[in-house]
């Protein structure tokens, strides 16, 4: 048997904590639990895990501060849970170094899919498949080509930058700031209007129905997600 994937859950809601533990253990994950931020950080410092599931609303330390503290010494993937409907805390969490977020209530299947995406990202940053197929188009990362209906699609340098960044991170939320920094450069980190315009162009060129995209999904207020 291969080593089980180890997950640290930091969550103060007792019912949620139990439900997560039972469901993840049933799927073969090894689960550690902490009911507050200080305990969670202490456990992580003593016993590294493969993934952290972190509730943002904790009784002692704000979840965003837990991430900031953790990121000083660890690059472990962090999946944030938030009960709040407001967006500010999720944006703060992503900026502080969280990898993705889920808003409560969420289905266990959605949680598992996000966990897999976070773990895949952590393991395969350098080794993602050179050719990615969707039902609408194919992206050849090695040869920097986009193909639709058997024909090459011309993408500008910036359009390609967006496509490549998203396609290399399937199912994973990429924030607007991450995309702008990656494709345009750090000076453009707040130029979100560029992103909207270029994303529209990318969809026109690649999506079967650009006004109803299936693969380049907008997560309003947060960023974008490529769904293969």
Sites of contact with Ca ion (CB under 5 A): 12, 55, 57
Taking the least distance from each CB to Ca ion, the nearer of 37 and 223 is 37
Across 61-150, where does the E strand assignment appear?
78-82, 100-103, 131-133, 138-140, 145-148
What are the angstrom distances between the C-alpha of 83 and each of 103, 149, 204, 225?
6, 43, 35, 21
State the minimum distance, in angstroms, from the CB of residue 17 to Ca ion.
10
Question: 94: closest CA among 115, 67, 125?
Answer: 67
State the minimum distance, in angstroms, from the CB of residue 40 to Ca ion.
12
Taking the least distance from each CB to Ca ion, the nearer of 15 and 186 is 15
Taking the least distance from each CB to Ca ion, the nearer of 12 and 32 is 12
Q: Which two tokens stand for residue 116?
A: 């897999």
Report d(CA 138, CA 161) in Å as an integer: 15
State the minimum distance, in angstroms, from the CB of residue 83 to Ca ion.
6
Taking the least distance from each CB to Ca ion, the nearer of 83 and 113 is 83
Taking the least distance from each CB to Ca ion, the nearer of 43 and 119 is 43
State the minimum distance, in angstroms, from the CB of residue 64 to Ca ion.
13
State the minimum distance, in angstroms, from the CB of residue 37 to Ca ion.
10
Taking the least distance from each CB to Ca ion, the nearer of 16 and 153 is 16
State the minimum distance, in angstroms, from the CB of residue 57 to Ca ion.
4
Question: Torsions phi, psi of 121, nearest 5?
Answer: -60, -45
Contact by Cβ (8 Å): 200, 210: yes
Report d(CA 139, CA 178) in Å as an integer: 21
Question: Torsions phi, psi of 132, nearest 5?
Answer: -115, 125
């Amino acid at each position: 048997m291969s080593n089980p994937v180890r997950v640290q859950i930091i969550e103060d809601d007792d019912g949620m904590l139990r439900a997560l533990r039972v469901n993840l253990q049933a799927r073969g994950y090894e689960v550690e639990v902490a009911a507050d931020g200080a305990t969670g950080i202490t456990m992580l410092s003593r016993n590294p895990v493969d993934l952290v599931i972190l509730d943002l609303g904790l009784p002692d330390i704000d979840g965003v501060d837990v991430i900031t503290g953790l990121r000083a010494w660890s690059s472990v993937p962090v999946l944030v849970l938030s009960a709040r409907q407001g967006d500010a805390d999720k944006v703060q969490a992503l900026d502080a170094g969280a990898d993705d977020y889920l808003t409560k209530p969420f289905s266990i299947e959605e949680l598992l899919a996000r966990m897999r995406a976070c773990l895949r990202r952590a393991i395969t940053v350098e080794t993602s498949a050179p050719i990615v197929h969707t039902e609408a188009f194919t992206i050849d990362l090695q040869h920097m080509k986009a193909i639709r209906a058997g024909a090459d699609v011309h993408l500008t340098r910036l359009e390609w930058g967006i496509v490549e960044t998203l396609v290399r991170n399937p199912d994973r939320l990429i924030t607007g700031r991450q995309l702008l920094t990656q494709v345009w450069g750090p000076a453009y980190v707040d130029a979100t209007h560029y992103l909207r315009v270029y994303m529209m162009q990318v969809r026109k060129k690649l999506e079967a129905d650009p006004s109803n995209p299936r693969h380049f999904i907008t997560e309003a207020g947060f960023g974008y997600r490529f769904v293969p």
